[in-house]
Amino acid sequence: AGGPSFEVELGRRDGFVSKASRVAGQLPGPNFNLNQLNSMFAQHNLTQTDMIALSGAHIVGFSHCSRFANRLYSFSPSSPVDPDLDPTYVKQLKQACPQNVDPSIAINMDPVTPRTFDNKYFKNLVAKKGLFTSDKVLYTNRASRPTVVPFSKKQNVFKEAFITAMRKLGRVGVKTGKHGEIKVDCTAFN
């Protein structure tokens, strides 16, 4: 996908338990506001800049329609469509995700370069094409916009911040001693 290259810190142990139920509440929701995003990332010693840079990974992701349908069909009593969405983008989204669509249907989070790791995610935010509410607030909130704008203009500024944030993220919850194991095969428990 063309993402930045960097050395990953080694020597990590894996846990003995792997359950999807343990992830609940550990990842940001698509409707989070800036305070909720900052609080969640701060719990892991990640800054707002780290959070914004890591959000740039949405450039190569996809989402099920149900995760953002509220922005298209039931945003508020006075406006069914989120006014912070570009009208042309709304038409594209509604075509791909009509009301009551099959819940397994998913679309690319980046409508422009979905298979390329670039700074288009941030350009999309500026152009009102952030898919989730948690994406759009990064640009619409005055506290985070000063980070989004440089990321949208200079790909290298975004990529350097992304590398820094990924290194810090790699240090979250590191297991040592008897906690966890070094796997012989990464796809299975020892």
Q: Which residues are annotated as a binding site for substrate?
A: 28
- Helix or strand holding residue 161 (H, E): helix 155-169
- Known binding positions: 28, 58, 110, 113, 118
The Cα 40–Cα 27 span in angstroms is 8
Instruction: Could you list the residues known to form a binding site for heme b, using ranges.
Output: 58
Q: Give the pair of three-digit tokens for residue 77.
A: 């009593």
Q: How far apart are CA 66 and CA 61, in angstroms?
A: 15
- Of 93, 142, 148, nearest to 121 by C-alpha is 148
Provide the 3-class DSSP secondary structure of residue 64. Answer: strand
Mark the binding-site residues for Ca(2+), compressed into ranges. 110, 113, 118
